[in-house]
Each structure stands twice: as C-alpha cells, then as structure tokens.
Structure 1
C-alpha cells in the first residue's frame, strides 16, 4: 500500500516511468478478472490496456480513502461495464488450458477437471453482469465483502444480497441441468 502511494506521488510529480510499477503489480490479477467477465482473451487484453490508460488519467482523483487496489479495480470494472453496455458484449467460451486444470497427468482427471471448469464458466456466464462481477471478485480475486463494496460502489448489504442471489441462480441452474456441482444444489 505504501509503495503504491509512493509510485502515485512519483507519477503525479511527472515521473511517468513510475507508472510501470503499478501496471506490473496489477496487470495479471486485473487481466484474470476481466478475462472471466469477457470470456475472450483479446478483448480482455484490450480492456486491461484501456483501463490502465483510464486509471493513469484519473490518478489525481484518487483520494486515499480506501486502498489503491480497490480504487483501481473500481475504475477498471466501471470502464468494462461501460464497454459492455456500449457493445453489448457477446459471451464467448474460453478454453481452459490443460496447465491450469492439471494437478495430475492422468487423462481422465484432466478431462474431468476441464469439464468441471467449463460447467462453472457456463454457470457464471448465465448471471447478469453485476452479479457475475461480484462472484468473480469474491471467489476468483478472493476479495472481502467490504473491498467489493468499495470497488463496485454498493453497500455491504447490497453486495451480500447480489452474491446470495447469484449463488441461488447458479443452484437453480444446476438443479435443472445436473452436472458436477451437485453441492450447489444442496444449498452449500
């Protein structure tokens, strides 16, 4: 956090090179979040680049009320949501690479993990944008409810409600379709 503030001060003082530190620190987690929102690697790369440009231009607006990472994510996610509204993003499936699905090299386990990941991606893709984003921030980025609340500019109660509704919708979908996530249909 303190190194973020130092880099921000340097950028605002005219040292544009200091912004590279911010990009390097946040590009991978931000890309992972946006990729799960878009389901398209090229679109995700474009949106991450655009988001970092937007953050750069708005850096002077950061008021240090919350963590810089929450502010950065909020700017980036708001940018993505604006783009979704403009383009009415079409959801595309992204292949789960074997390297992310493998803990053992047995072909059956690889196949089952890939199928489970595909089903989870499909379940998440059925959610409205706001609920999908909250699910991803909570379970992929492992952010706390308060961090998500700050990031998406919703009350803590609203974040909890949206998360509850999203999980309920996913449970109902699993009950209809069946599949790997039977534990969801049991209310877990």
Structure 2
C-alpha cells in the first residue's frame, strides 16, 4: 500500500469523522512526541504538558472537519497546542510572567565548563520569557518556518525574526 501524504490523510480523516477515528490516530501519532516535548519545555511541567497534549488532541479531533489548508496540518496542530499552553498558564494564574527584558540582566551561567552544552542551553532556555522560549521551541524543536511561527504567535514575521535574533545573540553572549 502506498504511503499517504499528509494532505491525503487529512482528507480521508475528514471524510471518516466522527464515526471512525483510526485514520485520525494514524495522522496524529507521528506528532505526539514532538508535541509533548514542545509543551513540556514551554510549560516547564511534564504533568501540565500531558494535559495540554490531551486537550490539543481533543480540539484537533473536534475541529478537523472544518480545517482549511491555509498552512500545514503540523502548524495548525502546534497553534492549537500553543493556545492550550497559554490557557494552562492562565489557569495556573502565572502572574509572574515578565514583559520586559530585565530577566536577562539577572541570568548568570554558573558553570563555565561547556562540555555539556545541551544542559547549559536547556538551563538558559528556562530563564527566557514565555514568548522567547516559545519562538525558540517552535523553530528548533518542531522545525517550523518563521512565517508559521508568526501565524501561531499572532506576531509579524519581522517581530519573530528580531526576537529570534536577540535570543541567539543573548545565548551566544552567555556562552562566551
């Protein structure tokens, strides 16, 4: 049997819903590990991430019948996850989210031994603002294009690229 493209699979799923969800499972399964990792890194909480992934799957299943090919299915799925992460943060009443860049001044890399670069970068990423961490995760963990990230975050493409550039410069500066 030939492997179906994402577009063909989405069309088949849309035709079979709501009575047959086997094709939906086939469509969504490849994205689950990356989706869970994205949510866990964004929320800094594995339990909350699992809840958000469940909500994302439910919303995707519920709204797939009206899905239009404005972007990729993957980008649409991650937009749902992004919105669910924001909802989870609101539910937890995280009022401590910083809207300025003062947090950058207080961040100090304690370990100057960069042999474990992934751990150092992970520690640095935890101290980024929600918005900046989200952009970096969408770009490097989910491998979405800048335009898709802009659509998900409801920001202009130039704003996404500038924030990305600033985070890269910040990380490079902390690693030097």
Whether TM exceeds 0.5 here: the answer is yes
Gaps in structure 1 of 5+ consecutive residues? 91-110, 175-180, 183-188
Shift of 1:89: 5.6
- The answer as to whether partners of 2:48 and 2:88 remain within 8 angstroms in 1 is no
RMSD of aligned Cα (Å) = 2.4
Q: Give CA deviations for 1:103-126 in whole Å, capped at 9, x if unaligned.
A: xxxxxxxx943xx32221121111
- Structure 2 equivalent of residue 119 of structure 1: 120
TM-score where L is the length of structure 1: 0.70
Question: Does the C-alpha gap of structure 1 residues 28 and 131 become closer, same or farther in structure 2, counting only changes over 3 Å?
Answer: same
The alignment of Structure 1 onto Structure 2 pairs a total of residues equal to 153
- Tell me how far apart the structure 2 counterparts of residues 11 and 74 of structure 1 sit (CA, whole Å): 23
Change (3 A) 1:72 1:21: same
Q: Distance in 1 between matches of 2:16 and 2:151?
A: 24
Q: Which residue of 1 aligns with 2:131?
A: 130
Is it true that 1:86 corresponds to 2:87 in the alignment? no
Q: CA deviation at 1:87?
A: 0.8
How far residue 3 of structure 1 moved from its aligned partner, in angstroms, is 3.2
Match of 1:51 among 56, 59, 64: 56
Q: Which has the higher contact order (CA 8 A, sep 6+)?
A: 2
Taking the aligned partners of 1:142 and 1:5, their CA distance within structure 2 comes to 20
Correspondences of 1:170-181 after superposition (within 5 Å): 170-171=171-172, 174=174, 181=175
More displaced 10-residue stretch of structure 1: 59-68 or 120-129: 59-68
**Number of the residue aligned with 1:141:** 142
Specify whether residues 13 and 53 from structure 1 end up closer, same or farther in structure 2 by C-alpha distance, changes over 3 A only: closer
Q: 2:3 corresponds to which residue?
A: none
TM-score (norm 2): 0.75
